[in-house]
Chain A
Amino acid sequence: MRLACDTGGTFTDLVVEDGAVTRLFKASTTPDDPVRGVLDAIGLAADHYGMPRGRFLAGVDMFVHGTTRAINAILTGNTAKTAFLTTAGHPDILVLREGGRIEPFNFKVNYPEAYVPRHLTFEVPERVMADGSIKQALDEAAVATIAGRLAELGVEAVGVCLLWSVANPVHEERVGAILAEHLPNVSVTLSHRLNPTLREYRRASATVIDASLKPLMFDYLSKLTNRLREAGFSGRTLMVTSQGGVMDAEAVARAPIHSINSGPAMAPVAGRFYAERDFGAAPVIIADTGGTSYDVSLVRDGRIPWTRETWLGQRFRGHMTGFPSVDVKSIGAGGGSIASVDAGGLLQVGPRSAGSTPGPVAYGKGGTEPTVTDCALILGYIDPAFFLGGAMPLDLDAARAALKTQVADRLSISLEEAAAAVLALATEKMVGAIDDITVNQGIDPGAAVMIGGGGAAGLNAVAVGKRLGCAAVLIPETGATLSAAGALMSELTTEHARLLFTTSAKFDFKGVNALMATMEEQCQAFADGPGAGAIEVAIDFAVEARYPHQIWEIEVPVRGRRLADQAALDDLVADFHAMHKKIFEINDPHSGAEFVTWRAKVRCRLKEPGAGRLTACDSDASIGKRTVYFSSTGWSDVPVARFEAMPPGLKVTGPAIVESSFTTVVIDPGTVAERTSGGGLYVAL
């Protein structure tokens, strides 16, 4: 048996994979002691099996965990007291950042605070040059003096990022050794080891963020593994990472930055599986709808997209992690997004959100502003008596009153028109987010299939898909817990990267091949170590390449494991031109190419691919009719079907509603829904 557990802001989701059957459980998240929430969820599962928790856990051989612990610590400022060491002459790397700003006329927002304040920043006398040569030798005595000062200040963690440590790490290594000697109990992160990438700000940013998380994540993961062991678990604990893979919990404790974007990164992993199973080669848009945010990613050719520009918080206002992670775009649009009318008479939806507290008006927990969820309720999409399987009754009248006074009356339209407009505008924002992410990769969303995940996905997934011109929308059976389902499918991965600048005109075959050989050895060592026992191991090489004078590279897969001769190089250059055309509509086939960073990624598959099925529900597939409103048809009685009970092949023609304990799917007029053999709901548009 394998477990995947995703600790979110409100709920701790647990997916139990028991042979071919999957079961879902939800417990409340316990912020004061999150491990308790994990154990509570496990307790619910054990109860279901009618076993004491210890015996249940004894039958579990793998526990995969995702948590918002690290990101929450950053957002609430509860990370370690962290110092930043950098090359003398350049103390303001974290302050100046890379510039850039949003909202040109908004001067109400302060310049962002540096992740490490200036008074905890120290200049190390040394300088390495772009070619790796040493311009100024390291002043080791000065480093020892700094170490003394750090001890006085009670610093708990140190991030070290020296200029060009990616070209020659010798100074950074030495600084690490001196700190280890003088400050044995202080966590240290060295930039070239953590994130060997060009651009000092983003490398430094990743380094100090990682260092600042080490004490608390080490503590959290030790507690988690110890308490699981005490509870009777003797299997392997894995953590999901921002890169959409899994790592041993001990490895994440050593580099906790891997865990900051772990939740959203899992949805595309699940999405890729469903896409390959149900749609073959079509590009797939994965949209995960939560209470406050809408996370979008894109899978094509079976590849999960990556970005090196992940921001914590808003672009330019938050911090860049500078770390490769799954390219997920988040916008403030979800079930909790608030609808309002501004002074100019324009309808607004989000980015303000009622979140889980106070939540939508209908929750009756103190929310007073109408939300997307309230509108879905008003339109009849959600059954007020069957929300979360009936666990939470909803207050329809309160929702109607709030929307009427705050939106409908101010726009001089009817209540249902207002509710439909709110959903239409939310849909439009979601479409805008998808457009952004698809443009960056040159994909026509019209050629893609959309997969909807998250509890609120079904409210407008069909509308979004229609608006984009997608061929179809799929709501997987485990869609409501798409991230946790993805965690069970991920592979054990690690990546190695090295900077070696060379050009197609004067290609450094010797240097590149030596580097690839080294990285292959490192990957193999990983496969033989943590990856031992994997059923399949793959090592992939890629290079970040660009045209001369460009500075934003694109990642191009390398066909083999070495670049033996001119023919292999010609192939690589041809692949680069093709990739550039694919992404940006243009290329420059007469130009040469430049190569900057070389990457090797090892993936160890721990189990056969596949997703278990939910246990069937023995109720009737058709559970009557409900009065709902669509702009095109007005109020009408439409059929309501029970998701889990629908047999494959049964067609439900829109307008209709398909609902389960975890989600409601609105089937718009003119579309047809059908259960796939894999258990998902497929809506042809």
Chain B
Amino acid sequence: METAMDLTGWAFWLPLIWAVLIALAVFFYVCMDGFDLGIGILFPFMREKAERDVAVNSVAPVWDGNETWLVLGGGGLLAVFPLAYAVVLPALYMPLIIMLLGLIFRGVAFEMRFRAENETQQLWWDRAFSWGSMVAAFTQGIALGAFVQGIEVRGRAYAGGWWDWLTPFSVLTGVALVVGYGMLGACWLLWKTEGPLHRRAVRLAWPFALGTVAAIALVSAIMPFLQPSFAERWLTFPHLLYALPVPVLVAFLVWRFFHALSRDTGQGGMADAWPFIIALGLFALSYAGLGVSMWPMIVPSAFTIWQAAAPPSSQAFLLVGAAVLIPIILAYTGYVYWLFRGKVTSESGYH
């Protein structure tokens, strides 16, 4: 931190701006691919092929764009915080490779499951979709947990072992993300579908949301004990005042969420959208809580965002493009979502 405070001007602001941008890119990924992956996680609960078809159709036009935020997160890290990229990726070697393999199965199954020629093929592509989604979600959670726990660094390189990522805490965060994505998927489905699938999604949203709340509570309880700086951030006096709103808001959103869920009418309109929006709010708060704990480290217990940053020239060069292009990307992404708005039904598809 001492060296960080010496920084002035662009050398101070650029890493800050980029940390926020990359954090946002990863958050967009978590939200948007979260409900895509959630649908795969919920596949075992949808026994009718027609239901699974509708569920997949509800995300088919947008999943590719959703996944691109993950590429931006990874690519942005390489461009702007190359040291963090070079340390974190080898540290999370195995979970990340398994995640990529899961995403391969999921992505190709998107295209292939509708083209299966018989029930055996159909079954296997559905499994590829569902298992791929679960594996991707679980390993993303593991990667998150391992990352938060801290990474052993010597010089400018990862110095830990090949199994450091596997701890009870990282398994907990892995399960938490599977359950959390399942909740997002259920909320997306209850918003975007009607009839039996809508009702099934409402029924599924309950246990997955309860599980998510339990996971948030458990992770929050363990977090302060992982690193001294976390405890200081959350449990000592003036910090406590700034941190306190996060758990209070979480509690409020949980209440509103179950309230909205229990009033489900299935009539469409905004009422069906609320559980999804509140679920995103829960993700945002958990993410913010994580951000508060981590700040200003980009590799926990090793590098701050300023220490890991590329030279200002690299950051500025990409920022010019990002400032112009990210609003445009958000605009046309919004347009595509708007284009495919409304309920997806087995009768109509998108027609």
- Are A and B part of the same complex? no
Listed in ascending order, the chain A residues whose CB lies under 8 Å from chain B are none
